[in-house]
C-alpha cells in the first residue's frame, strides 16, 4: 500500500466514522426529545391526579361534617325521647 492509498483509506475511515457519529447524535437527540415530552406528559398526569385527590379529600371532609351533624341530631332526638 502506497502513501496515497493509505491517505485515501484514512480519509474513508474518518468520513465513515464522522457520518456514523452524526447519525448517532441525531438518534440520541430524538430519544432525548421523546423523553422530554414523556416527562411533561407525566407531570401533567400527576397534576391531574393531585387535583382529583384534592377533590376527593374535600368531599370526604364535607361528608364527615355531614355525618357528625346527623350524629349530633340523633343524639339530641334520643335525649328528648328518653
Q: Tens of pLDDT along 26-81?
A: 999 999 999 999 999 999 888 889 999 999 999 999 999 999 999 999 999 888 88
* pTM of the complete model: 0.56
Q: Tens of pLDDT along 4-32?
A: 999 999 999 999 999 999 999 999 999 99
Q: What SS3 class is residue 1?
A: coil
Q: What is the structure's pLDDT at 79?
A: 87
- Read off the C-alpha cell for 58: 374535600
Residue partners of 33: CB distance under 8 A and separation at least 6? none
CA–CA gap between residue 53 and residue 15 (Å, rounded)? 57
Amino acid at each position: 500500500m502506497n502513501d496515497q492509498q493509505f491517505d485515501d483509506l484514512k480519509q474513508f475511515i474518518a468520513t465513515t466514522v464522522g457520518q456514523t457519529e452524526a447519525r448517532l447524535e441525531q438518534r440520541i437527540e430524538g430519544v432525548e426529545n421523546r423523553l422530554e415530552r414523556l416527562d411533561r406528559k407525566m407531570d401533567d398526569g400527576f397534576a391531574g391526579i393531585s387535583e382529583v385527590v384534592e377533590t376527593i379529600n374535600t368531599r370526604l371532609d364535607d361528608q364527615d361534617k355531614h355525618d357528625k351533624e346527623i350524629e349530633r341530631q340523633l343524639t339530641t332526638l334520643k335525649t328528648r325521647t328518653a
